A and B are shown apart, each in its own frame.
Chain A
């Protein structure tokens, strides 16, 4: 790997093309996905924020009073404001300019943009240190991870935090050689803090990396030493950006910051099925992030990542166990390994709250993809694939072949991204055999809307199970569900009852049996042959 190659205009054109292409793909496929459970909460919070922003323009002194701020920001106080502000601005743009074809897209656009920009960033960082084929491969390998593709659609924080974590790591890496990057580092870390708490681990990763390179520099006797100026830049600018973008913290700052930290350190446990066991309290098996990555990311990409790690193993040796060298540089590999492993380790810790979903360590995947790019380049170079025929197409053909499984899996996974498992798990049916989590968040209702609309042509009511009423209302505002089909709070009063299949949701299945005195669903939505949603019909209101 190079220490840092300057990027040229063509590089940025490639990055921009990747971004725009991905953004268009996300925009074109978003309507297949019902708003997920968490999105509906963030939409509610964003609307509060939008009202508050509007109030600032009309009545700024009142808007900045604690009462107004608390009213606007109390809801969903447990998450910082940056993305909610982004959703709010996007929605305001929609309200006033009608930029998007529907309301949900307005809320989702900032998240999609983060995903698109992340591809550019992966490419740019990759192209700075390796052959451009590897950088392009890394960006596309990341884009074509089924769960990344799913999460990239959402008005959530997971892809945005993956973007800001990668951006912060990139800015840190740049700042080691060029102090002009320090403000950018502080700002990007601040935005990462203001997006999600995954960012808390970044200073620790960077500190280990910094000590690593400093140790190498000391041992090699180099007079030029890396500066630790990055740390104050992060620790001063970061919190300022966090607090500055989060009005909730403008009053009673210390207590609210503590409450925020405490909320996530003592987070409620989500019940999560893994290898046939529903875990509802810690510890989750430490293998969860590794096995879930193995089961949801293309095996070829994972293998290339391992090849990449193997080929760079010399750079990963602990400094005090290796001979000092003059060209130790910034130890990019060490930084990438830290950013790759730390999110997985945090989730694997026995004391960590139960999360389970890959989204909780998705910040690792840009670095997994980058190492896959390194692996690809290593194979191409060692095999001299391009030299065989004197042409470059064999290289591209090999890269395309390696991307194809992920791309095919992703295409098939949509719109069931969270239910998808790769062939190493036996695919979706194999994962069901193994007892893996089938879904969460109730987003799969989006795949039922045509059936429901056809079943209730004159309107009716639906008990929506894990799909929130906010998500349902959004589908109605988007024109996906007729307005005369309402979400019903009581199962026995509903015309149709949905049951999202997750192991611990079977009690809801049994409730429907008793409510309608029948165990016969009128319809079962399947993905790859595996039940995703059962629909029960109220016999008292049976629709022919």
Chain B
């Protein structure tokens, strides 16, 4: 009756977009759920990679948050260096298991396969050849705490590991060089650092003791054409940006080759030392850390003796 003559206007129809919004939410929810890859998809993708995997292959997830799922299925194929690469040396190929359209490299992959929501891509990298990884050889090194008058050798021993947990810094390895039991942080050994970008870095923990250096010496190191050196400080400390710098000096055959001055905020800093003159030879390589104030300098470094595949091929020819 009267209602027929009434003109309710646009306001009378606002319920329609609201109802549509509710329907959209329900449909979107179902769509999101349906797009989640099944265990079978992950298993099939992992089996595909496992069948083609070679020792110098790195495997990663994309987006990065799926990495634990990838490592659950293929983690046994990853060394700690491959899981926490300090640099790109020694990685021949990169396998990526990705979902949701994520990808870590723009260039076309050498191989690509889809497993019902899990996308496998493989890129051939053929970067530098890894000649010597200092972190893997740390057990053979000599570690000293250098004093004004004399140096004290830090023995390699099996020691109790730290309990672990948030803001505890990198895990102490079971075997490590212990320089001073009264200063539990004064040890040297291979661990994994969480760098300023929260990336994992396989590296050698070498907390400076002060102005007198903590020294690590490697003998008979086969040299390539370069030494790739990186260093960083534990994320939980470096992010505060309120401590002094750390100096890492690199000596080759008793000559200082380079110095990395790491300041808070530098993150996973790098330097490259040209060793092409010593290519193919062995050398004694020494790493010394110092800091004017060693407080909370949770410093960890990595070094890789590498050879450019192109240059090595040229020499072989």
Contacts and interface: CB of A to CB of B under 8 A. Distances in A.
Given A401-B22, A492-B174, A519 B78 contact: yes
Contacts of B235: 504, 507
Given A506-B194, A513-B200, A520 B75 contact: yes
A67 interface: no
Interface string A507-527: 111111111011111111010
B75 A521 contact: yes
Q: Is the interface of A mostly helix, strand, loop or mixed?
A: helix
A490 B29 contact: no
A531 B25 contact: no
A398 B235 CA distance: 51
Contacts of B170: 507, 510-511, 514
Interface in B55-86: 63, 65-66, 68-69, 71-72, 74-76, 78, 80, 83-84
Interface stretch (B5-13, B138-146, B224-232): B5-13
Contacts of A427: 28-29, 32-33
B188 to A, nearest CB: 14
Contacts of B193: 510
Contact of B192 (A501, A513, A523, A526): A513
A383 B83 contact: no
Contacts of A506: 194, 198, 200
B18 A510 contact: no
A198 interface: no
B194 A507 contact: yes
A507 B234 contact: yes
B135 to A, nearest CB: 11
A383 B99 CA distance: 44
B83 A382 contact: no
Contacts of B12: 382-384
A290 interface: no
B290 interface: no
Contact of A511 (B19, B74, B83, B168): B168
Interface in B88-119: 99-100, 102
A507 B166 contact: yes
Contact of A433 (B100, B163, B168): B100
A408 B36 contact: no
B83 A430 contact: no
A518 B76 contact: yes
Given A422-B25, A507-B235, A526-B69, A379 B18 contact: yes
A55 interface: no
Contacts of A433: 63, 65, 100, 102
Contacts of B33: 412, 427, 528
Contacts of A508: 164-166
Nearest to B193: A510
B217 interface: no
A369 interface: no
Nearest to A465: B165
Interface in A375-411: 379-380, 382-385, 387, 398, 401-402, 404-405, 408-409
Contacts of A452: none
B13 A383 contact: yes
A521 B68 contact: yes
A52 B128 CA distance: 69
Contact of A531 (B3, B66, B167): B66
A402 B74 CA distance: 44
A491 B168 CA distance: 12
B148 interface: no
Contacts of A307: 14, 18
Contacts of A524: 68-69, 72
A436 to B, nearest CB: 11
B26 A404 contact: yes
A379 B170 CA distance: 58
B294 interface: no
Interface string B160-178: 0101111111111110000
B280 interface: no
A530 interface: yes
A426 B14 contact: no
Interface string B25-40: 1101100110111000
A528 to B, nearest CB: 6
Given A383-B15, A423-B28, A521 B72 contact: yes
Interface in B198-231: 198, 200
